[in-house]
Each structure stands twice: as C-alpha cells, then as structure tokens.
Amino acid sequence: MGRAVKFAHLDTKDFETTESYFFDRFLGARIDSGMESNEGYDLILELGRDEEWYDQNWSAIKKNDLKYDEDVNQYIILTLAELANPQILPLINKYLVSLRSDIGQETVGFDDSAKKYLAYKINADFLLLNLGLFNSDSNVLGDTYFDKGETYYYSAASSLKAIKGGRSGLSDVMEKLSERFGKYVEILRAMKNRHENYFSFHVRIPDAELKQFEHELAVEASKRQNPPSS
C-alpha cells in the first residue's frame, strides 16, 4: 500500500488522513448494519493448546481463523485510502479488465505468479468496490458478480501462496475476502447509504501529478467508451 494522503474536509476545513477517514466510515457501517467484526470467532481455540492438539484439529482451527477479520477491515480501509493516490492508477490500468470480462483468460499467458497475483488482486478489489460503492445500481444488483469476486480473491490467494511458498497474513486476508465476498460488499453498500458524500474531501496533489492523473483518467475513460472492435 502507498503512503497515506492528508486532506481537508470541504465543509469544516479540518485536516485528516484518508486512512482515518475511511476507518471511521467503514467500521461505523459495520456496526450500524449489524455485521460487526470477528463474528463467530472463538478465541479459546487459540489458547493453551499443545502441538499435538493443533495437529489433530487443524481444520477447525483454520475455519476459526477465517472468522477473525480485523485484518480484512484494515485491508479494505487501506484499499479505499489508496483511491486518493493517483500514483496507483498506472498499475491498476495495466491489469484491470471490464466488469463483464474475465481476468482469468488474460492470466493464461502470464509467465509468473507475481503478475497473476496482481491481476487477480486488482480485479478482485475493483469488483468489491464497484459492487459496493461505485456502481450506480449497487443497491439493486443483488449478488450479481459475487461468484466472480470470490474466484478472483481465491486465485489471488493461491498465486500469493505460490510466491511465498505457503500461507501468509495477506493470503489469509484474500481467502477471507473470497469466502465472504458478499458480506463485505453489503458492508460497503451500507457505508454508501450511510454517507452520501463519503468522498467529499479535498486532497492537495502537486500540479504535475494532477495533470498526469487527469490525462491517464481521460485515456482510460476513452477506452471504456470506445472498446476496440474484435
């Protein structure tokens, strides 16, 4: 993740970071919607056990681990905060495909797991935020594209495991997002409905970066409106 961005609220002129801003709104939406963190997580499975017990109950432990989602909260908050940083746009545009396309078809030609991971992660994040926040029909889409989001995050986790040689904290986050993709979309929809102007802040971006961002955004918008003929 990139650096935190400091901004001023348009109404109050108070300064804040994008991370703290989205932290308050995302966790507030979780509480208001009745989907609080770590639902069903049993701390007792983590305490006072010997190695033999862990070996015999690894499946139950793994299922319990996946119910702990403070790490998912942090991941989503940081992903939202990154939206205010124009430096990430070139990387997103490199791998992002349209909503109706399948990034899996693109990754067939990729020669290493790192590229596959980035492609799946970027498109999974796009689906999560698009279905939850940005799509104008987000409140009537239901579970459309949920299966695709689940598959993308699962594939991102698998690619990351191949890179790391096994599980990591981030691959666990991807697995949790895969298993409960719809849940996190619904939290983001609750956040959208709770705060109509959740992007009502002003970020101080250097002129050169802003011009480059506007140019790249215009190019990408043109591609979306005029896709190349097959």
What pLDDT was estimated at residue 3?
58
Q: What is the pTM of this model?
A: 0.77
Backbone region of residue 124 per phi and psi (left: phi > 0; alpha: psi in -120 to 50; beta: other values): alpha
What pLDDT was estimated at residue 67?
85
What distance in Å separates the CA atoms of residue 136 and residue 131, rounded to the nearest whole number?
Answer: 9
Give which of 33, 28, 29, 25 is closest to 199, Cα–Cα. 25
CB 81 within 8 Å of CB 5: yes
DSSP for 59-115, please give it. Answer: HHHHHHHTT--HHHHHHHHHHHHHTT-GGGHHHHHHH---TTS-HHHHHTT--SHHH
What pLDDT was estimated at residue 119?
95
Dmax (CA) of the chain:
62
- 15-17/6-9 β-pairing: antiparallel
Query: Which residues of the chain fall short of a pLDDT of 50?
Result: 1, 201-203
- 15-17/201-203 β-pairing: unpaired
Q: Which residue has the tokens 């689906």?
A: 127
Give which of 94, 185, 81, 176 is closest to 134, Cα–Cα. 185
What pLDDT was estimated at residue 217?
64
Q: Where are the domains of the chain?
A: 6-225
What pLDDT was estimated at residue 98?
87
